A and B are shown apart, each in its own frame.
Chain A
Amino acid sequence: MLLLEIDGLTYGAGDKTILDDFSMTIEPSEVHALLGTNGTGKSTLAYLIMGCEGYMPSSGEIIFEGKTINTLKIQERSKLGITMAWQEPVRFEGISVSDYLRLKNKDINPSYYLEMVGLHPELYLHRMVDKSLSGGERKRIELASILALNPKLAILDEPDSGIDMLSTQDIVNVISAFKDNGSSVLLITHREEIVLIADRASQICNGKIVCTGNPDKVAEYYKSRKCFVCDGEVCAYV
């Protein structure tokens, strides 16, 4: 059985259609990379799968382990095993890194997860998840917290973006950790070299999948694109 099936999902904001009859699948324990330029609808898809407030498809289905979850709230989807690392993780005053990693399961060893994302526990466990962390540090801590949840599906929205971006090797290490745990990953990115670590890849353009398959081939296809910001008009895919 598929872990996740997105079937004919359409979502718009105002007059603009952001996802247009969008379909894709993720197998259990599969890392599926979603590649696309800015403005193609990648993050919107992530919010729709996670069930964020204000994100309800106008048509189509989000099916998780055989059940439609369109109407479930974010915490209900989380209970099913879906979680997400936002592109720019929020900060929290007064919550230590140690407590943040143990939000759902007090029995886990937070040091273990910090080491997985390349952070020394003794330097970070007692720090706060607030604005004293750099962008890169915050992203690593978010990834560690997602790993600690041991989810069935982790949606990682551009873990490689930002000023303090994580290196390709950092991302490879994190993805390997998810795979070792048996988690599936929806890896959202606009960097073709990141796609190569996935089991399968898809390219999104103007709210639609334009190709799916072997990550090498999808990355090549993506490199040959004509547009760098999606306007749905320049490229030949739409």
Chain B
Amino acid sequence: MSDLDALMKAFGEAGGDKAILGNNEIAHLVASGHKLLSMKSVEGLEVDARETMAGISAKVTVKEGIRIKNPVHLCFGVLHKKGTQKIKMDVRLEKNSSAHFIAHCIFPNAEKVRHIMDAVVEIGEGAEMRYSETHFHGLYGGIEVIPKSIVKIGKNGRYFTDFTLTTGRVGKLDIDYSVEAGENAVTELTARVFGHANDEINIKERVVLAGKNSRGLIKTRVALEDEAKAEVTGITEGNAEGARGHVDCMEIVKDNATAKAIPIVSVIHPLAKVTHEAAIGSVDKRQMETLMAHGLTPEEAVDLIVKGILK
């Protein structure tokens, strides 16, 4: 079986739609380890991806005024037990363009694997980018995921990101996102992670509301069980007139797991406003009782509540 077939098989087993590779209207980039396996572009989307000594480097540009109709699929993975995948992404959305990128990160057999993503994103005036990243991990927990991104959003631009790691063991996760929003720009960063066994989760997200009337939301949902640990740092700075930001962190803890939330909000302009809320603890008693009064067992109730916050 070729590397591409093997990765696509794992992708299919993780619930992905393998037909996207054969669809001429859907752009994609597929890489296994440091090998580029498949790539397709569509009109208005420029992709310059290559294998380098350090890993994979990709420069992606959405041309001015182009709105990419179908999501662009990025499929990254390491199928071996040991290995490293280092990806450097340089994404630019030119003025008034838009695109939705869906990243599928597949590491089903990882016993000692590192996945490092280093991204620089520039969103032009009036452009909109959505980035959804979903991980499919195995049961060994021997993986380290280190996504880092630096994002700059131009005037009236929009940037939404959604990171999901709820299937399999997390291993070690170390997210470091930083977003700067210009005038009237909007950004929302969402992360959902379910930690088990001795998983270690470290999420640091920073939004700088630099432009007048910019908006930012950092939303984090973490569930932990066994001995898992998580530390979530949500930073929002309101630096301009009319800027509005909010940090919303919820962590549910079971067994001997431990969680920490560090919301940092700062305002240096008198007409900016940043708020935060953080809830950490065991499953809410009232929620449990309500579901049990509806006929669920305690186990079913916990399962439903956890699945709900990670949805």
Whether A and B are associated in the same complex: the answer reads: yes
Q: Which residues of A contact B (CB under 8 A)?
A: 50, 52-53, 73-75, 78-79, 82-84, 86, 89-90, 92-95, 103-104, 145, 149
Could you say which of B295, B308, B311 contacts A75, with CB atoms under 8 Å apart? Answer: B295
In terms of DSSP, what is the predominant structure of the interface of chain B? helix
A93 close to B292 (CB less than 8 A): no
Interface size on B, residues (CB 8 A): 23
Whether A84 touches B284, Cβ cut-off 8 Å, given contacts A93-B308, A94-B307, A94-B311, is: no
Which residue in chain A gives the minimum CB-CB distance to B307? Answer: A94
In terms of DSSP, what is the predominant structure of the interface of chain A? loop
Which residue in chain A gives the minimum CB-CB distance to B285? Answer: A53
B311 close to A149 (CB less than 8 A): no
A83 close to B286 (CB less than 8 A): no
Interface status of B275 (Cβ within 8 A of chain A): no
Which residue in chain A gives the minimum CB-CB distance to B291? Answer: A103
A94 to B221, alpha carbons, bound, how many Å?
11
Which residue in chain B gives the minimum CB-CB distance to A105? Answer: B295
18 new A-B pairs (CB below 8 Å) besides A73-B292, A75-B292, A86-B290?
Answer: A50-B289, A50-B293, A75-B295, A78-B294, A78-B295, A82-B293, A90-B290, A92-B287, A92-B304, A93-B221, A94-B309, A95-B308, A103-B291, A103-B294, A103-B295, A104-B296, A145-B294, A149-B294
Which residue in chain A gives the minimum CB-CB distance to B308? Answer: A94
A75 to B309, alpha carbons, bound, how many Å?
23
Which chain B residues lie closer than 8 Å to A83 at the CB level? 293-295
Interface status of B310 (Cβ within 8 A of chain A): yes
A73 to B297, alpha carbons, bound, how many Å?
10
A157 to B306, alpha carbons, bound, how many Å?
27
B311 close to A84 (CB less than 8 A): no
Interface residues of B in 84-136 (CB under 8 A from A): none
Which residue in chain A gives the minimum CB-CB distance to B311? Answer: A94
Shortest distance from the beta carbon of A99 to any chain B beta carbon, whole Å: 9
Shortest distance from the beta carbon of A149 to any chain B beta carbon, whole Å: 6
Whether A74 touches B289, Cβ cut-off 8 Å, given contacts A92-B308, A94-B307, A95-B304, is: yes
